[in-house]
Amino acid sequence: MVNVSPIVAIWIAWFITATNVVIAKLATPYISSALFLLLACIIASACFAVSLQKGNQLKNLLRKDVWPKALVMGTFGTALPMTIFMIALNYTTPVNVAIVNQFEIIYSLILTAILLKERPTLKQLGGSVLILLGVGLILLQSGTSLQAKGDLMVLGCLWMYQISHIFAKKLPADLSPALIAAARAFFAIPALLILVICLLVFNQPVQFQNCSALWIILLASAIGNYFIGNTFWYRAIRNMDLSKATAIILSYPVMTYILSVAFGQDKITLIKIGGMMLAIGGAYIVTGIIKKGDVK
């Protein structure tokens, strides 16, 4: 893969993250969520197999100190939450998903307090209130409609990412960014395969409309997000200050909103703009990016 600076890598990851939610929405009329993600991860894993064949790097994924952690990372970082995200997109819009996704930071505070006994600061609590207000505005606009169902599905699965992050941090330091991204795609396959098999065994509808539109969307998601996007994300956070990387990536709902409106998936409303500003602003404060004296 092209070797770029960390700052370029994070901006590439930012754009792909914003785009992938819109792409996932485009796929919902053609294919079941679990099957879409299964095929996407298989395609991405094939891409990694080709790109990492030099030095036989993929064998490192089977190391005893790697594969159990990578399995948890793939299951809770990709397979389960992304399946729920795609199901939710049948009811809600990409920008709602992107804004509600900021609530993940509050889950991080809660788990940190429980597992590490670290009490949140007043600044973090204030930021959390802003996130709650922003997400609350989105849920308020959705009301009791099916859109609210999708928003609540996303809200309910965000804790899974924190489980994935915990085990990702435990991976050996000698793994390359590309290998970590490969692990996330490859080890998501077992859980996704089980989900698809369960759908078939219990006679649940498994949708697959074989058409060129679906394959274009599938390839865009597999290669764009799971192969290129994740690789650049891990390259960025391995080679630059995490707060700077987070500062950039947290703003991705803005691009998601622009793309959603462009594709006719959403409309511009003051409530969504307000909710987005509150949620993103709160996320910045909670992660410590906005510090006293930063504003000149």
| pLDDT confidence band for 292 (50 / 70 / 90) | very low
223 part of a folded domain: yes
The answer to whether the CB of 250 falls within 8 A of the CB of 41 is no
294 part of a folded domain: no
Question: What total number of domains does the chain contain?
Answer: 1
Round the average pLDDT of the chain to a whole number and report it.
Answer: 85
Tell me what pLDDT residue 243 has. Answer: 62
Domain that holds residue 199: 6-286
Structure tokens at 43: 């395609």
Task: Give dist(CA 83, CA 33) in Å, integer.
Answer: 5
- Sole residue written with tokens 């991976």: 171
Tell me what pLDDT residue 103 has. Answer: 81
The answer to whether the CB of 35 falls within 8 A of the CB of 217 is no
Task: Give dist(CA 255, CA 217) in Å, integer.
Answer: 18
Q: Tell me the three-class secondary structure of the chain, residue by residue.
A: CCCCCHHHHHHHHHHHHHHHHHHHHHHCCCECHHHHHHHHHHHHHHHHHHHCCHHHHHHHHHCCCCHHHHHHHHHHHHHHHHHHHHHHCCCCCHHHHHHHHHHHHHHHHHHHHHHCCCCCCHHHHHHHHHHHHHHHHHHHHHCCCHHHHHHHHHHHHCHHHHHHHHHHHCCCCCCCHHHHHHHHHHCCHHHHHHHHHHHHHCCCCCCECCCHHHHHHHHHHHHHHHHHHHHHHHHHHHHCCHHHHHHHHCCHHHHHHHHHHHCCCCCCCHHHHHHHHHHHHHHHHHCCCCCCCCCC
Task: Give dist(CA 223, CA 64) in Å, integer.
Answer: 28
Chain centroid to CA 144: how far?
A: 26
160 part of a folded domain: yes
52-110 pLDDT, tens per residue? 887 778 889 999 999 999 999 999 999 999 999 999 999 988 888 888 888 887 887 78
293 part of a folded domain: no
The answer to whether the CB of 137 falls within 8 A of the CB of 292 is no
**What is the average pLDDT across 274-292?**
73
Tell me what pLDDT residue 296 has. Answer: 37
152-197 pLDDT, tens per residue? 899 899 889 888 878 887 889 889 999 999 999 999 999 999 999 9
Tell me what pLDDT residue 231 has. Answer: 93
Encoded amino acid at 19, one letter? T
Backbone angles phi and psi of 268, in degrees to 5: -80, 120
Tell me what pLDDT residue 75 has. Answer: 96
Task: Give dist(CA 245, CA 242) in Å, integer.
Answer: 5
51 part of a folded domain: yes
190 part of a folded domain: yes
| pLDDT confidence band for 265 (50 / 70 / 90) | confident
112-140 pLDDT, tens per residue? 777 767 777 788 778 878 887 887 777 77
User: pTM of the full predicted structure?
Assistant: 0.84
241 part of a folded domain: yes
Tell me what pLDDT residue 215 has. Answer: 96
Task: Give dist(CA 70, CA 188) in Å, integer.
Answer: 9
Tell me what pLDDT residue 295 has. Answer: 41
Structure tokens at 120: 């949140």
84 part of a folded domain: yes
